[in-house]
Amino acid sequence: MQELWGRKVLKKEINQSEQLEIASLTLPTMKELAENKIQCLRCGQIQLKFTVQLVNQCYYCPECIQLGRVDTGQQFYHLPEPDLVKRKVSFVWEGQLTIGQQQVSDELVASVKKAESRMIWAVTGAGKTEMLFKSIHYSLECGYRIGVASPRVDVCLELFPRIQAVFPDEEALLLHGKMEESYRYTKLLICTTHQLLRFYQAFDVLIIDEVDAFPFVDNPLLHYGVKQAVKPKSSLIYLTATPTEALTKKTDRNELKTSILPARYHRRVLPVPKMKWCHRWHEKIKQGISPKSFEDTIRTLISKNDVLIFCPTITLMDQLGKAVEKSFPETALASVHSQDSQRLEKVLKMRNKEYRILMTSTILERGVTFDGVSVIVLGANHTVFATSALVQIAGRVDRRKEYTAGEVWFLHDGCTKAMKEAVKQIKKMNTLGLERGLIDEV
Ligand SMILES: [Zn+2]
């Protein structure tokens, strides 16, 4: 029943449920609280009993129902993790860490040795994944169970082959909601944060990538899942380029050890966004007009690089798209958003330089790298552009080794706190990078 080690699952989620009676432990699915409330023990969320009562008098949890219904008529099955056994694990990596990466990698290993938590705050394009390899290797050799989780499926899909390649003889499992492969026990696991809700005291080390990204950020259900998934004595590692206020506060109060990597591997400063006034952009776009200062910016930028244009809403992007097409009839361009069925093809075409302009919703704010691009955020003062989104968007520029003089422009008609904060954060990292000798030019 290895399948149940470190898991907390319902009968219907178990592959070999006929063997269940053999020595597995059962845990309650829900807990009754005072004042007619009931708590789900998979996702931790609390409901008023009368709102979640079923016709058979059982209670269920609506919050985590997408993982299969939990109700008081069922129980969880669980087996504790086996004892740790040291072993040899082959590790194949030819790359070289920069001085900054090496330092973070060492601090991370030290934290894993002490079973303490740590945040790694590394700027966009710093090369986060390589910094994890050594601590993953150390953990596996100790016999630890280690998980790398991300809120976003595409990040998991990208991470899995990279990590697997470095540990070629290690059995690893990729786990997310859309996969068909069934669950099996492995010491190394890459999964979405939602999948953590099915684990109980499983991980000695758990790394959460993009901890500030949707849907993990501000999601009590997923945070509860993380707490349940780790062993009482374990290391929880948070990776981010744009930490939440809650995390930075913990750092400031010395409650969370933090490693900061303020520079990219190519030793150049992060491009600092430039601000430009764009009078009544919202009204103009609604009337089907593309603002003049916006078009001027495109003309300047496109002489050197391709241009990625971020729009606050899909509706505005559609209206703007038509106007831009009229103004740039000779230029290959497209627009893309989350509901676009051709999303992946379009991103690929932009990467292959088949488009010169790509308009996008915030969906491309993270996780994508294009060669030789500049970025415009049209309507940067819109509420959809939070500080973290703006820092991530600015981080799309100048990620490759070759320098192409890519620029970042925030077009707005009223500077917001988020815009100022984003610029401040980027400048702060540049200063820190220079101070620590991780950046060559000014
Ligand atoms: Zn629940």
CATH 3.40.50.300 fits 99-261, yes or no: yes
Give yes or no for residue 69 having a pLDDT over 80: yes
Give Cβ neighbours of residue 414 (< 8 Å, ≥ 6 apart).
381
Q: Of the candidates 360, 377, 379, which has an alpha carbon nearest to the alpha carbon of residue 368?
A: 360
Give yes or no for residue 17 having a pLDDT over 90: no
Residues of the chain with CATH 3.40.50.300: 99-261, 274-435
Q: Tell me what the mean pLDDT of segment 21-26 comes to.
A: 72
Q: Retrieve residue 434's tokens.
A: 């220079």
In this predicted model, what pLDDT tens digit does every residue of 319-339 receive, in sequence order?
A: 999 899 999 999 999 999 988
Distance 202 CA to ligand 1 centre (A): 19
Distance 63 CA to ligand 1 centre (A): 5
Q: Which residues surround ligand 1, an ion (CB under 5 A)?
A: 40, 42-43, 61, 63-64
Q: What is residue 429's predicted lDDT score, i.e. its pLDDT? A: 95
Distance 29 CA to ligand 1 centre (A): 9
Distance 198 CA to ligand 1 centre (A): 11
Q: Are strands 118-122 and 146-150 parallel, antiparallel or unpaired?
A: unpaired
Rounded to an integer, what distance in angstroms lies between the CA atom of residue 126 and that of residue 14? 40
Distance 138 CA to ligand 1 centre (A): 34
Distance 224 CA to ligand 1 centre (A): 10
Distance 60 CA to ligand 1 centre (A): 8
In this predicted model, what pLDDT tens digit does every residue of 264-277 receive, in sequence order?
A: 999 999 999 999 99
Burial 208-219 (b: 16+ CB within 10 A, else e): bbbbbbeebbee
Q: 28 and 41 in contact (C-beta within 8 Å)? A: yes
Q: Tell me what the mean pLDDT of segment 252-270 comes to.
A: 94
DSSP secondary-structure letter at 315?
H
- State the chain's mean pLDDT as an integer: 92
Distance 416 CA to ligand 1 centre (A): 37
* Beta strand spans in 223-316 (E): 230-240, 257-261, 274-277, 306-310
Q: How far is CA 179 from CA 98, 175, 182, 183, 191, in A?
A: 35, 7, 8, 10, 11
Percent of the chain with pLDDT over 70: 98
Distance 33 CA to ligand 1 centre (A): 15
Q: Tell me what the mean pLDDT of segment 341-364 comes to.
A: 92
**More confident of the two residues 351 and 213:** 351
Give Cβ neighbours of residue 25 (< 8 Å, ≥ 6 apart).
77, 78, 79, 80
Distance 149 CA to ligand 1 centre (A): 19
Distance 158 CA to ligand 1 centre (A): 29
What is the Cα 175 distance to its own chain's centre? 15
Distance 282 CA to ligand 1 centre (A): 41
Q: 213 and 151 in contact (C-beta within 8 Å)? A: yes
Rounded to an integer, what distance in angstroms lies between the CA atom of residue 197 and that of residue 114? 25
Q: What is residue 212's predicted lDDT score, i.e. its pLDDT? A: 82
Distance 28 CA to ligand 1 centre (A): 12
Sign of CA dihedral 53, 56, 62, 64: positive
Q: Are strands 408-412 and 118-122 parallel, antiparallel or unpaired?
A: unpaired
In this predicted model, what pLDDT tens digit does every residue of 357-390 receive, in sequence order?
A: 999 998 888 878 899 999 999 999 999 999 999 9
DSSP secondary-structure letter at 19?
G
In this predicted model, what pLDDT tens digit does every residue of 214-249 receive, in sequence order?
A: 778 888 999 999 999 999 999 999 999 999 888 889
Distance 13 CA to ligand 1 centre (A): 15
Rounded to an integer, what distance in angstroms lies between the CA atom of residue 313 and that of residue 310? 9
Rounded to an integer, what distance in angstroms lies between the CA atom of residue 137 and that of residue 88? 9
Distance 58 CA to ligand 1 centre (A): 14
Rounded to an integer, what distance in angstroms lies between the CA atom of residue 52 and that of residue 251? 39
Rounded to an integer, what distance in angstroms lies between the CA atom of residue 46 and that of residue 30? 10
Give yes or no for residue 442 having a pLDDT over 80: no
Give the type of residue at 217: V
Distance 66 CA to ligand 1 centre (A): 9
Distance 19 CA to ligand 1 centre (A): 26
Distance 367 CA to ligand 1 centre (A): 29
pLDDT band at 44; cut points 50, 70, 90: very high
Q: 259 and 102 in contact (C-beta within 8 Å)? A: no
Distance 97 CA to ligand 1 centre (A): 42
Distance 392 CA to ligand 1 centre (A): 32
Write the DSSP assignment of 413-429 as a string of letters. SS--HHHHHHHHHHHHH
Give yes or no for residue 19 having a pLDDT over 80: no
Return the ∠ at Cα 149 (arms to 145 and 150), rounded to 5°.
170
Topology of the domain comprising 274-435: Rossmann fold (3.40.50)
In this predicted model, what pLDDT tens digit does every residue of 96-118 receive, in sequence order?
A: 999 999 999 999 999 999 999 99
Distance 64 CA to ligand 1 centre (A): 4
Distance 61 CA to ligand 1 centre (A): 5
Distance 65 CA to ligand 1 centre (A): 7
DSSP secondary-structure letter at 204?
E
Distance 45 CA to ligand 1 centre (A): 6
Q: Tell me what the mean pLDDT of segment 333-355 comes to.
A: 91
Distance 47 CA to ligand 1 centre (A): 10
In this predicted model, what pLDDT tens digit does every residue of 145-176 receive, in sequence order?
A: 999 999 988 888 889 999 999 999 999 999 99
Q: What is residue 20's predicted lDDT score, i.e. its pLDDT? A: 62
Q: What is residue 213's predicted lDDT score, i.e. its pLDDT? A: 81
Q: Of the candidates 171, 173, 175, 89, which has an alpha carbon nearest to the alpha carbon of residue 134?
A: 89
